[in-house]
Amino acid sequence: MYAYLLVFAGGGLGALCRFAATSLVGRSLGTKFPWGTMAVNVAGSLAMGLVIAWLGRRSAGDAHLRLLLATGFLGGFTTFSAFSLDAVSLYERGAITAAAGYIAASVVVSILALFAGLVIGRQF
């Protein structure tokens, strides 16, 4: 149960920070292009790399910090950071074809799913 609370707390803070960051960037750069989302995706991916590298250098007790920071906070901030970590993990394991397939399929299938959701949702 404690693990769920860590993810919940981190996720809430991450979502709040995402809203604040995209609002700030939108006010600064405008909203004709999704600069806020792009900035959050890049910042979240950089942060995920830093957190995972930092946790990798630590000894025991990493599971709770990973749940709070990586799964919770960064998951709430942007799931793109988790996507990026998965892609890089595949690449670092030497599964380059799988990494490329994962990236291409995730982007294409997710966009197609959004279109499908729009078509279905607009029927009601």
Q: What pLDDT is recorded for position 60?
A: 62
pLDDT of the residue at 100: 97
- CA angle in degrees (0–180, nearest 5) for 80-84-89: 150
Instruction: Concatenate the DSSP letters of all residues of 45-85 into one string.
Output: HHHHHHHHHHHHH--TTHHHHIIIIIIIIIHHH-THHHHHH
Write down the domain spans for the chain: 2-78
- The pTM score is 0.83
Contact 61/84 with Cβ under 8 angstroms?
no
Instruction: Find the range with the poorest average confidence among 25-29, 52-56, 99-103, 109-113.
Output: 52-56
Average pLDDT (77-88) is 93
Which residues, at least 6 apart from 96, have a Cβ–Cβ distance to it below 8 Å? Answer: 90
**Model confidence over 21-79: pLDDT tens digits?**
999 999 999 999 999 999 999 999 999 999 999 988 876 658 999 999 999 999 999 98
CB 9, CB 71: distance < 8 Å: no
Backbone angles phi, psi at 41, to 5 degrees: -65, -45
